[in-house]
Amino acid sequence: MELVRAENLSIKYPNSDETVIKDTNFTIADNEIFVLVGPSGCGKSTILQALAGFIQADGLLTMNNETITGPDWRRGVVFQNSSLYPWFTVKENVGFGLKARKFSSVEIDQRVKYLLDLIGLSNQNNMKTFELSGGMRQRVAIARVLANKSPLLLMDEPFGALDAFTRAKMQKLILDIWQQEKTSIFMITHDLNEAIRCGNKIAIMNAHDKKITKIQDNPFQNINLEELNDFELEKKIDNYRKDILKLINK
C-alpha cells in the first residue's frame, strides 16, 4: 500500500528565489525503507523538511492521500544530532510525546518499557541524557519518535556523527525496529554502504537536476559488508555501489 506520494514536487525557501527542488516524483510504500543519497547541497534535507511539514512545497505531497500541511506526530523526525531534554531521564524523554498526547501513565510505562528493551537501554532508563554516549543518545532519539507509533520515520543522516562500529550496530537496530514496528522509513545518508544495508529502495539525486533522478530496488538489503566473506557477492555489491556513484556524480 502506498503511504506517501510526491508528484511534481517543487520547493523554494521563503527567504530565497532559488528553486531548490523542481518537479520531483516519488512514492513511499507502507513498511518500506526509502533511502535517499546524493551530493552535499543537492536538496535531500529540503525534501525531508517538506515531508515533515516544516516547509511548504508546490505540487502534490500526500500521506495516506491527505496533503501534508504541517508537522504531525504521524511523521517523526530524527536528525544527526537530535536534541533530547537534558534535564529529563531516558525514560522521561522517550515517554514525553505520549504524555503530551495525554496517554495514561500505564500506557506510557508499557510502551516506554517495550521501547527501551528494543533499543537495549533498559538499564539506563533512569539516567539523564547528558550522561549517555552519542550512540545511546541517538537510540533514545529514535525511541522517542517510535513512542508515538508514527507510521513514517524521517531520518536525516541519523548516524552521521557516530563511529563506524556504533554506526554498524545502529544500522542493525534500525532493521530490527523496522521489522518489529512495521514502520516506513525515509532516510538520508552519505554512506552508500549504509544505503545498501538498510534500504529497500535507493533514491538518487545529483548536483544539477534538483530532483530524484532514479529510484531502484536494492537487492542487497541486510547484508553487513563488514562481515561479508563471499568474494563474488562482494564484487556484485561493489558494482552496484559504483553504478549508484555514477548516477550521483552525473
Binding segment toward ligand ATP, per CB under 6 A, in 43-51, 63-71, 146-154, 236-244: 43-51
Element (H, E) at 60: strand 58-63
Closest listed residue to residue 78, CA positions, set 93, 64, 67, 57:
93
Element (H, E) at 77: strand 75-78
Contact 45, 190 (CB under 8 A): no
Q: Which of 1, 17, 40, 249 binds ligand ATP (CB under 6 A)?
A: 40
Strand 66-67 relative to strand 58-63: parallel, antiparallel, unpaired?
A: antiparallel
Binding segment toward ligand ATP, per CB under 6 A, in 13-21, 105-113, 119-127, 238-246: 13-21
Q: Which of 2, 13, 86, 134 binds ligand ATP (CB under 6 A)?
A: 13
Considering only residues 16 to 35 of the shown chain, the ones binding ligand ATP according to CB under 6 A are: 16, 20
Q: Please, what is the minimum distance in Å from the beta carbon of residue 98 to ligand ATP?
A: 30
Closest listed residue to residue 197, CA positions, set 217, 170, 176, 225:
225
- Helix ranges (H only) for 40-124 are 44-52, 90-100, 105-118
Binding segment toward ligand ATP, per CB under 6 A, in 10-18, 145-153, 192-200, 215-223: 10-18
Mark residues 168-187: x for contact with ligand ATP by CB under 6 A, - for none.
Answer: --------------------
Residues contributing to the site for ligand ATP (CB under 6 A): 13, 15-16, 20, 38, 40-46
